[in-house]
Amino acid sequence: MRLTVFGTGYLGATHAACMAELGHDVLGVDVDPDKIAALRAGRVPFYEPGLEELLAKHTASGRLRFTTSYEEAAAFGRVHFVCVGTPQRKDSDAADLRHVDAVVDGLRAHLGDAPALVVGKSTVPVGTAERLAERLEGKAELAWNPEFLREGFAVQDTLRPDRLVLGVRSEPAEALLREVYAPVIDAGTPVVTADFPTAELVKTAANAFLATKISFINAMAEVCEATGADVSVLARAIGHDERIGSRFLRAGIGFGGGCLPKDIRAFAARAEELGTGRSLAFLREVDAINLRRRERTVELSRELCGGSLEGKRVAVLGAAFKPDSDDIRDSPALDIACRIHLQGAEVTVFDPEAMDNARKAYPALGYAVSAPDAVRGADLVLHLTEWPQFGALDPAELAAATARPRIIDGRGFLDGARWAAAGWEFHALGRPAQPRQERP
């Protein structure tokens, strides 16, 4: 089938390459000519495991092409996916839908008389699909097919998703989407058919639940710090309850990225617009708990440095908001690094993939070529992005390079006993400190 994908950012580029992998002829569309030029050359402008290989494979075969022309795109395919971003508005917590509206209006202006299906994948406030369907009336039918991609696993989540949600109003629209996703459905992926409002709410509700679970265990970390309890043991104990489960119960500096924070804020803002603000008022506290963990990390850093960060050398391991990504949008790691820098510390950052993005966005920070280089002469080390490479570091080797082997594990990821045995003073949020053990 011939498909178009509007928007070639994180969602769109991934969707386009994966649709080509499923056997479709795909045309990616973007208004940014530099981005299109890079994609035509087989280069992905961000880091996502497995994506560059798919892109190169299908641009070489001719199954995947890119353009800046809406006219070409409208004539190319029968199914048009809308995959542009919906960032937080600068003047409120609400979602900025300008890019979504621009795609729909631009596409509508070039659609002919042939049947067409426009499929929204962008995360939008409930009610958006109804409004867009009215704008497309007489030109194309609308469907809503929310995405559930995890950065670092986006290719896997597209080719082998845990569910497909099809927001449709007609049997032909559902049949067409089932044809698009036939290889995925045949592999056993569950399909949920829904109306527009439900399809829109699935993504925002899922993000709200995930954010709540993460903030819950971080709230428990606050209580554990006040009482001397260990949040890691607490999480393990309650995680055995099958009604709760253990996933995303690791306390730390909280969530970030370009989706979760802005999506829960937009959800709460939309609830206010609908007159049901009280139903999602708890999301404001979820957001506040999340941000407090960053503040607590800075506070703990200051405490460990004798009450002042002025003139201290602090190493930060991690810049991306999560591992297997170079995305620094709302990165807790860089937020903490900047706050510590503003308190007078000399901060040096290392990340396996996000260094270029971090340097461009935060040029006042220092940057190292490796983790050992970052910790050299450090008075304090902060582990803030849980890259597997950091878990595999030799703590004894790193200890010898520091001015003082003292670390805060902001992700609850490192083996505290191993680091303490290697001579480190080990701290983690919500857990009792592990004093350094003198090595024989």
Element counts in the chain: helices (H) and strands (E): 19, 15
Specify whether the CB–CB gap between 335 and 294 falls below 8 A: yes
> Residue 52: which residues within 8 A CB-CB, separation 6 or more?
42, 43, 44
Mean pLDDT score, 49-71: 95
**CA 203 to CA 279: how far, in whole Å?**
17
Upper half-sphere CA count for residue 434 (Cβ side, 13 Å): 23
Model pLDDT, residue 440: 52
**pLDDT higher than 60, residue 220:** yes
Mean pLDDT score, 16-39: 96
Q: Predicted confidence band at 292 (pLDDT cuts at 50, 70, 90)?
A: very high
What are the tens digits of pLDDT across the range 338-357?
999 999 999 999 999 999 99
- Is CATH 3.40.50.720 what the domain over 2-194 is classified as, yes or no? yes
Sign of the Cα pseudo-torsion (415, 420, 423, 426, in order): positive
**pLDDT higher than 60, residue 33:** yes
- Is CATH 3.40.50.720 what the domain over 195-440 is classified as, yes or no? yes
Contacts 24+ apart (CB under 8 A), 223-229: 224/251, 224/430, 224/431, 225/296, 225/429, 225/430, 228/432
What are the tens digits of pLDDT across the range 355-370?
999 999 999 999 999 9
Model pLDDT, residue 434: 86
Model pLDDT, residue 247: 92
**pLDDT higher than 90, residue 436:** no
What are the tens digits of pLDDT across the range 177-210?
999 999 999 999 999 999 999 999 999 999 999 9
**pLDDT higher than 80, residue 6:** yes
Residue with token string 């959800």 = 267
| pTM confidence score | 0.93
Model pLDDT, residue 435: 84
What are the tens digits of pLDDT across the range 95-129?
999 999 999 999 999 999 899 999 999 999 999 99
Active-site residue flag, 259: yes
- Each domain of the chain, given as residue ranges in start order, spans 2-194, 195-440
What are the tens digits of pLDDT across the range 250-262?
999 999 999 999 9
* Same fold flag, 2-194 and 195-440: yes
In percent, the amount of the chain with pLDDT more than 90 equals 96
| Structure tokens belonging to residue 413 | 């990821």
Q: What is the mean pLDDT of the chain?
A: 96
**pLDDT higher than 60, residue 155:** yes
**CA 115 to CA 420: how far, in whole Å?**
66
**pLDDT higher than 80, residue 439:** no
Q: Which of 224, 259, 305, 338 is catalytic?
A: 259
> Residue 359: which residues within 8 A CB-CB, separation 6 or more?
367
